[in-house]
Amino acid sequence: MKDQGPTIGRMFGAEDVSTFMGWPACSDLQQLNADIALLGVPGATPYPSVGAYCADAPDKIRTTMAGYARTLAHYDFDLDGPLLGHGGARAVDCGNLPFTETNPPGNRARIRDAVSTILNRGAVPIILGGDDSVQIPLFEAFEGHGRFTMVQIDAHIDWRDEVGGERFGLSSTMRRAAELGHVERIIQVGQRATGSARPEDVADARAYGATLVSARAVHRQGMAPVIDLVPTAANVLIAFDCDGLDPTVMPGVMGASPGGLTYWQTLELLHGIAAKARIANFNLVEFMPARDVNGIGALTAGRLIANVIGLLARSKR
């Protein structure tokens, strides 16, 4: 292996680890015994036109965060204390689900089954995608576990009914979520520029009752009005598409556009939700390592995941 020269991991004395920040591994979900379970999902229903362009994202994020494996007891200034706090929260990395690009129905079934098992074992699932299509079976797995508020961070609204005849692809996630009986409201944050949405798709989203808060509105008014939209004590599913961030902090995406959310605006939203509601899931999708620049996107993704984990650990306390 090529010598990478000075690195954070070398300075901190981190050993080679394959799990997120060196967490314990759990290879059998039926034996899961943790409060927080991270699961890599390389893909679900890729469009033939682009393929599974985010399939290597889970491992790339893990590799980037491996250098911080010896810092779990260090002071994290984003969280005002050590990552897992002092409440004894248990976190494990469950590895990656098998993925076959030519078998989308099988991929979706595996995702539903895995997330259902994690929920039944009493853990909060943290999902590393994969493109947006992994979210559809993920949301389906929450049926029977209560009523949920969906908060999506994304440059696009994902309300297409189908693209090229495919109804379970990355442009249809919020429309499919709106069809689920256990999703009672949808709040979408960060829209900007042009995506797959046509005027009729935007009209359908609004007719359903989805609240659309554009990136321009966030930059003008701040994140407090968005946090106010989340009901107190709600169960919240957070769907985080990396292109919701500005490409200066998240260059590794397929649909980059200027004017996105900043890292700190995103943290304000995550911390604000955690302060008034329950984070039932955080899923991060659409990180494309092939488009990343100097590992900036992978690090940003890893730090957002670390913040959610820290917030979940503190909620346990």
Strand boundaries in the chain, DSSP class E = 36-41, 91-96, 124-129, 148-153, 183-191, 211-214, 235-241, 278-285
Tokens of 231: 């009901």
pLDDT at position 139:
98
The total of other beta-carbon atoms located within 10 Å of residue 179's CB is: 11
| Residue 290 in tokens | 């092939």
3-state secondary structure 187-232: EEEEECCCCCCCHHHHHHHHHHCCEEEEHHHHHHHCCHHHHHHCCC
Q: Which of 174, 124, 126 is nearest to 154 (CA)?
A: 174
Amino acid symbol at 182: H
pLDDT given at position 203:
98
Q: Kindly report the number of other CB atoms within 10 A of residue 315's CB atom.
A: 17
**What is the 8-class DSSP label of residue 169?**
S
Q: 311 has which bridge partners?
A: none
- Angstrom distances, CA of residue 217 to CA of 223, 261, 272: 9, 11, 17
pLDDT digits (tens, 9 = 90+) for 48-88: 999 999 999 999 999 999 989 989 899 999 999 999 987 78
The residue with tokens 């991270």 is 38
Q: How far apart are CA 57 and CA 20, in angstroms?
A: 13
**67 is written with which tokens?**
């250098």
Place of tokens 């092939």: 290
Instruction: Say what the pLDDT of residue 4 is.
Output: 65
Question: CB–CB of 121/32 below 8 Å?
Answer: yes
Question: Residue 100, Cα to own-chain centre: how many angstroms?
Answer: 21
Ranges of the chain whose pLDDT falls below 70: 1-5, 13-15, 317
Q: In this predicted structure, what is the pLDDT of residue 1?
A: 42
Q: What CATH topology corresponds to 8-316? A: Arginase; Chain A (3.40.800)
| CA pair distance 134, 45, nearest whole angstrom | 7
Looking at residue 271, its pLDDT comes to: 98
